A and B are shown apart, each in its own frame.
Chain A
Amino acid sequence: MTSENPHFSEMHASDGVRQPYAHYASWFSDQNRKRLAKKAGQAEAFFRRAGITFNVYGANDAEERLIPFDLVPRIVSNREWSKISRGIDQRVRAINAFLYDIYHRQEILRAGIVPVELIAKNDAFLPQMMDFKPPGGVYTHIVGTDIVRTGEDDFFVLEDNARTPSGVSYMLENRETMLQMFPELFSKIKVQQVSDYPKNLRRSLAASAPDSCTDRPCVVVLTPGIHNSAYYEHSFLADQMGVELVEGHDLRVVDGHIAMRTTRGYKVIDVLYRRVDDDFLDPLTFNPSSMLGVPGIMDVYRAGNITIANAPGTGVADDKAIYSYMPDIVEFYTGERAILKNVETHRCSEPQTLKYVLENLADLVVKEVHGSGGYGMLVGPAASKSELSDFAAKLKARPSNYIAQPTLSLSTVPIFTKSGLAPRHVDLRPFAQVSPEGVVITPGGLTRVALKAGSLVVNSSQGGGTKDTWVLED
């Protein structure tokens, strides 16, 4: 299966099973296939019963769907993980330094490393954040870094999600499901825990409380509501942290603080983990028609009376156009070379590059600069002729809205199918928590897997599935 397959297989090398998978493979070969198929059915029923679903926008009646779960874990050795986590740590620190700089002296622009217009024309840049230092100096408290692998030692960052990354609940529930289904595996194979995530999140959010907070910080999660696609995750995190899950209409400004309406009156909040976009955060400052946020919260924020995680304006760092400068950004702020590589990225805003992209469209992946979740992108090799020409027209109309990347030869991990194991492409989204006390990265992350043979699209909104991710103890 490896000889004719050009993609790096994480489980099978040409000379047999790769080392991190050795124990698992021997366990697997002893398993009865029917029993495993039954387990897969049980896992689905468990997810359904627990309501671990996401809403699909645009689908009929806000349909709730399950993200398919595959029972073969993705296994990463401790050595591999230590490189990934050092790389993420470095990158996350650089992103926070970059954000501080962009909203203060803008030295990176003066140095000519990042072009001024990239910031000036960036919708995610918030002038309201200029010269303001968020409590504890942290801008992005929770980061999800999308990583792909193309070879034994080749890890690339595909995207930095520094605004409100989703998927933590799946990372945790996938592990919980595996523990319930295959407890015997975990006594054989030592896997690093992910279950500390909510506890660590609570701690790092509390550590980011504003100086005005003298008591035990009151932390809450802000959700747009039950119709949001990630509502399950919002309620899950609030529940796991033991904090209130609030909506905008539960909050208001009381005596210069943000307070929530409780059965006993208004109670002051110190840290708001918001899962609402910048635009909807404060109708007085941003989108005036928004009902999701809290009128006046930006004034409270600027007065230093609440911590907003992640800080407004953070999106200026995870833009796909900024992405192409990340290696330089990392070097500028850390003085070190980036540990994790970037994927070669063509900026369509540059005329020569646009020409190249149009000529090679069938071999490239083209993405909207501000797009997310696999929407509005073109996967050249998988596209029909008419799709290619339609996309070319969009590109010509708004070149600066797009970047293009070569189609990477993503690694594969087998999934469990009726006819046995079959290789599928995967990516990985580990999660980092940042507070004034430092960066904590949970060992593992969310592995997303394409379910169709050969497909490179792993997004859940596009029919991808997930796997448990194991980082081995050494």
Chain B
Amino acid sequence: MLGKTAGGLYWMFRSLERAENTTRLIEAGFRIALTRSTDAEAEWKSVIVTSAAQAAFEAKYNSYDSLRVTNFLLRDADNPGSVFSAVKSARDNARLVRTALTWEVWTAVNETWMLLCNILRKPVKETELPEVLAAIRQQSALVRGALTGTMLRMDTYHFCKIGIHVERADNTARIVDVKYHALLPASSVVGGRLDNVQWETLLRSVSAHRAFRWAVEEDFTAPAIASFLILDQRMPRSLSFCLAEIVASLGYLADSYGEKLASHSLADKLRARLDNRDISSIFEEGLHEFLGSVIRDNGNLGLQIEQDYRFNI
């Protein structure tokens, strides 16, 4: 396979994953804005901060009102992380690697782009927001479903999977990092009870508010939620889960190409930092420091994969 093709597949699925994650963040912010009478601005700000778009947003606007934030995140072409920009980039990459995709995956992503062009043509009003967000999530699931349902399990497939999980790990780490601190009341001791709305936003950002209740017997405490999002192997958006998937896909490439490369040991190391950990030792290390280093190492892993598999050079 061409290095360019591997890169195109990887970035296609990273971009789609990013679009979906942004949608989830907006959903969480919207929920809070609806259910809480005060401090909606602070919540919208934390949404912008989490999606790493603060500078770009503040260059344009000076207040965090819901319509501005949602439209900036949904359809602003100047915001490279907006849902529209991300899906456009995914679709451009899909065209680039058209020969490596099945018909189903290609038409699913092309339809997604056509649908977004249509529903994001004009600014999205508050009344339309739930419908628009649901449509994007559904399209994203459609593309992923086509991927798992139709693509041969060979290197093409695994580059897609690596893109998904590198992006998702980054996203989960950012959400926990930003929101956890934003939400944790200054006076509260780590391990104390959080109020309902706080834990719900955090879990909602990764669509895990129901899953948590099913999976975890503990109460809604900060360590329990952090542990769920960072270490729980059953949780498809947890850091542990993402790293296990990345290691498995890189392992497939190592086997089928018959060579172990630098990115493989980076991934192993990063995974080892999550294996057999419990959340209290992470808190001891310092949650913010821990997440910061995971985000950095995950980013470096991405760069090393690009080099090892000759995406660009």
Q: Do A and B come from one complex?
A: yes
B243-258 residues at the A interface, CB under 8 angstroms: 253, 257
The answer to whether A261 and B98 have CB atoms under 8 Å apart is no
* B3 contacts chain A at the CB level, 8 A cutoff: yes
Closest to A64 in B: B95
10 A-B pairs with least C-beta separation? A235-B98, A263-B309, A239-B99, A261-B3, A263-B6, A238-B99, A51-B110, A226-B95, A245-B99, A263-B1
* Contacting residues, chain A, for B98 (C-beta < 8 A): 51, 235, 239, 245
The answer to whether A263 and B99 have CB atoms under 8 Å apart is no
Closest to B111 in A: A49
A228 CB to nearest B CB, Å: 11
* A260 contacts chain B at the CB level, 8 A cutoff: yes
CA distance in complex: A244, B3 (Å): 11
Closest to A263 in B: B309
* Contacting residues, chain A, for B111 (C-beta < 8 A): 49
Q: Tell me what chain A mostly uses at the interface: helix, strand, loop, or mixed.
A: mixed
* B268 contacts chain A at the CB level, 8 A cutoff: no
The answer to whether A263 and B110 have CB atoms under 8 Å apart is no
B162 CB to nearest A CB, Å: 12
The contact string, 1 if C-beta is below 8 Å from chain A, for chain B 60-98, is 000000000000000000000000000000001001101
* Contacting residues, chain A, for B3 (C-beta < 8 A): 250, 261-263
The contact string, 1 if C-beta is below 8 Å from chain B, for chain A 49-62, is 11100000000000
B275-301 residues at the A interface, CB under 8 angstroms: none
Q: Tell me what chain B mostly uses at the interface: helix, strand, loop, or mixed.
A: helix
Cross-chain pairs A/B with CB under 8 angstroms, 19 sampled: A49-B114, A50-B103, A50-B110, A51-B110, A235-B95, A235-B99, A244-B1, A244-B5, A245-B98, A245-B99, A246-B2, A246-B4, A247-B4, A261-B2, A261-B310, A261-B313, A262-B2, A263-B1, A263-B3
Closest to A246 in B: B2
Interface residue tally on A, bucketed by range: 20 to 34
Supply 5 further A-B pairs (C-beta < 8 A) apart from A49-B114, A238-B99.
A48-B114, A51-B98, A246-B2, A262-B310, A263-B1
Closest to A50 in B: B107
Q: Which of A48, A49, A235, A263 contacts B2 (CB 8 A)?
A: A263
The contact string, 1 if C-beta is below 8 Å from chain B, for chain A 259-289, is 0111111000000000000000000000000
The contact string, 1 if C-beta is below 8 Å from chain B, for chain A 232-260, is 00010011000011110110000000001
* B106 contacts chain A at the CB level, 8 A cutoff: yes
CA distance in complex: A239, B253 (Å): 23
* B200 contacts chain A at the CB level, 8 A cutoff: no
CA distance in complex: A235, B4 (Å): 14
- CB within 8 Å for A260 and B2 given contacts A49-B111, A49-B114: yes
A61 CB to nearest B CB, Å: 10
Q: Which of B4, B5, B107, B155 contacts A49 (CB 8 A)?
A: B107
A36-84 residues at the B interface, CB under 8 angstroms: 48-51
Q: Which of A50, A250, A265 contacts B4 (CB 8 A)?
A: A250
* A231 contacts chain B at the CB level, 8 A cutoff: yes
The contact string, 1 if C-beta is below 8 Å from chain B, for chain A 277-319, is 0000000000000000000000000000000000000000000
* Contacting residues, chain A, for B155 (C-beta < 8 A): 263
The answer to whether B1 and A226 have CB atoms under 8 Å apart is no
B91-129 residues at the A interface, CB under 8 angstroms: 92, 95-96, 98-99, 103, 106-107, 110-111, 114
CA distance in complex: A362, B95 (Å): 44
B116 CB to nearest A CB, Å: 14
CA distance in complex: A264, B1 (Å): 8
* Contacting residues, chain A, for B106 (C-beta < 8 A): 50-51
- CB within 8 Å for A231 and B95 given contacts A50-B110, A263-B257, A263-B309: yes
* Contacting residues, chain B, for A49 (C-beta < 8 A): 107, 110-111, 114
* Contacting residues, chain B, for A231 (C-beta < 8 A): 95
Closest to B94 in A: A51
CA distance in complex: A246, B1 (Å): 11
A248 CB to nearest B CB, Å: 11
CA distance in complex: A214, B205 (Å): 57
The answer to whether B257 and A51 have CB atoms under 8 Å apart is no
CA distance in complex: A250, B96 (Å): 13
- CB within 8 Å for A263 and B310 given contacts A244-B2, A250-B3: yes
The answer to whether A262 and B95 have CB atoms under 8 Å apart is no
Closest to A251 in B: B2
CA distance in complex: A260, B257 (Å): 17
* Contacting residues, chain A, for B257 (C-beta < 8 A): 263-264
B62 CB to nearest A CB, Å: 30
* Contacting residues, chain B, for A247 (C-beta < 8 A): 4
Closest to A247 in B: B4
A87-135 residues at the B interface, CB under 8 angstroms: none
A236 CB to nearest B CB, Å: 8
- CB within 8 Å for A262 and B107 given contacts A49-B114, A235-B98: no
Closest to B258 in A: A264
Closest to B308 in A: A263
The answer to whether B95 and A244 have CB atoms under 8 Å apart is no
* Contacting residues, chain B, for A235 (C-beta < 8 A): 95, 98-99
B1-37 residues at the A interface, CB under 8 angstroms: 1-6
* Contacting residues, chain B, for A249 (C-beta < 8 A): 4
CA distance in complex: A49, B310 (Å): 31
CA distance in complex: A260, B2 (Å): 7
CA distance in complex: A50, B99 (Å): 13
- CB within 8 Å for A262 and B1 given contacts A50-B107, A226-B95, A235-B99: yes
* Contacting residues, chain B, for A261 (C-beta < 8 A): 2-4, 310, 313
* Contacting residues, chain B, for A250 (C-beta < 8 A): 2-4
CA distance in complex: A189, B107 (Å): 31
Residue in B1, B95, B309 with the greatest tally of chain A CB atoms within 10 Å: B95
A381 CB to nearest B CB, Å: 40
B121-161 residues at the A interface, CB under 8 angstroms: 155
CA distance in complex: A235, B98 (Å): 6
Residue in A249, A260, A264 with the greatest tally of chain B CB atoms within 10 Å: A264
CA distance in complex: A238, B253 (Å): 24
* Contacting residues, chain A, for B99 (C-beta < 8 A): 235, 238-239, 244-245
* Contacting residues, chain A, for B95 (C-beta < 8 A): 51, 226, 231, 235
CA distance in complex: A246, B253 (Å): 22
B139 CB to nearest A CB, Å: 13
CA distance in complex: A45, B107 (Å): 12
B74 CB to nearest A CB, Å: 19
The answer to whether B96 and A226 have CB atoms under 8 Å apart is yes
A147-194 residues at the B interface, CB under 8 angstroms: none
* Contacting residues, chain A, for B6 (C-beta < 8 A): 263
CA distance in complex: A246, B3 (Å): 10
CA distance in complex: A250, B313 (Å): 8
CA distance in complex: A231, B95 (Å): 9
CA distance in complex: A49, B108 (Å): 8
B22 CB to nearest A CB, Å: 23
